[in-house]
Homo-oligomer: A and B are copies of this chain.
């Protein structure tokens, strides 16, 4: 049974804590959230249905011998997470985080990545960024599929999701119900976008030796072609029901990594797909696609065993042993 220090009790954190207990993988021995409405409350009052006498605290001063791993679900921004990562690694902790930018930290935080890696190696700590996307479907999984490849010239990945069944913060994040002006304003403010396409693109390129001399990312609304029910109320025909994002990495004029992400209420034929231009050609399809909320919680918990088996340091999903569904502790 894993003893977990959990940091960050937003909707995803609450789901992970719930799943940790329900799956019989372990239990939370300490929980941290700096938000005033949370710190000081009983964890059992924050996480519905949980049997626990843990009280949520606002600091990380927890004896590292009291937990086997820490899970951090606070922010997409690696800079914002850095003090937490530092504090945990200083204590020699094994840390898994859903921080999107940590999934390939060398893109936007190369210096910080070097610091955290050096710190982890010194203290015996370990740090990994994971999640369903970034962290798996558009990076580690396509790369893993090329285990059988003699050569790879380019990779294209599609993730077309029906957001109808996703949690409400996700529906908000993809712009459900907005008009064009609101959509543009939120894009400009940086609040409306899927974070991580750039990280996935560079993960794929780096692991497969594909040179990226230039890359770009764009974002556009998806409009409802009929009235659509959503977690945020009815989306009338013509209103925005989701977002389309695409990242393209070029070697000179040649497109070598192309990631297409679309999440919308009522999306037809949801699926994930990996297309590899190489020898052999690969066309790999997840029929129906992968539901993100279940999967993000699942992979975060499943990655703990593999990370604990890896040597100290800053890791990615490519440097730890195979991550797979962890059975309940017996």
Contact = CB atoms under 8 A, between A and B. Distances in A.
A146 interface: yes
Contacts of A303: 147
Contact of A327 (B209, B279, B310): B209
B288 A283 contact: yes
Interface stretch (A191-199, A234-242, A259-267, A292-300): A292-300
A19 B150 contact: yes
Contacts of A178: none
A169 interface: no
B328 A324 contact: no
Interface stretch (A49-57, A60-68, A97-105, A136-144): A136-144
Contact count band on A: 35 or more
Contact of A208 (B144, B282, B285, B325): B325
A330 B210 CA distance: 12
B136 A299 contact: no
Given A280-B294, A285-B285, A290-B280, A321 B321 contact: yes
29 contacts: A136-B147, A140-B322, A141-B145, A144-B144, A146-B324, A146-B325, A147-B302, A148-B294, A148-B302, A149-B298, A149-B302, A149-B325, A151-B325, A207-B324, A209-B327, A209-B330, A281-B288, A282-B290, A283-B287, A283-B288, A284-B284, A284-B286, A285-B287, A317-B322, A318-B324, A319-B321, A319-B322, A320-B322, A322-B322
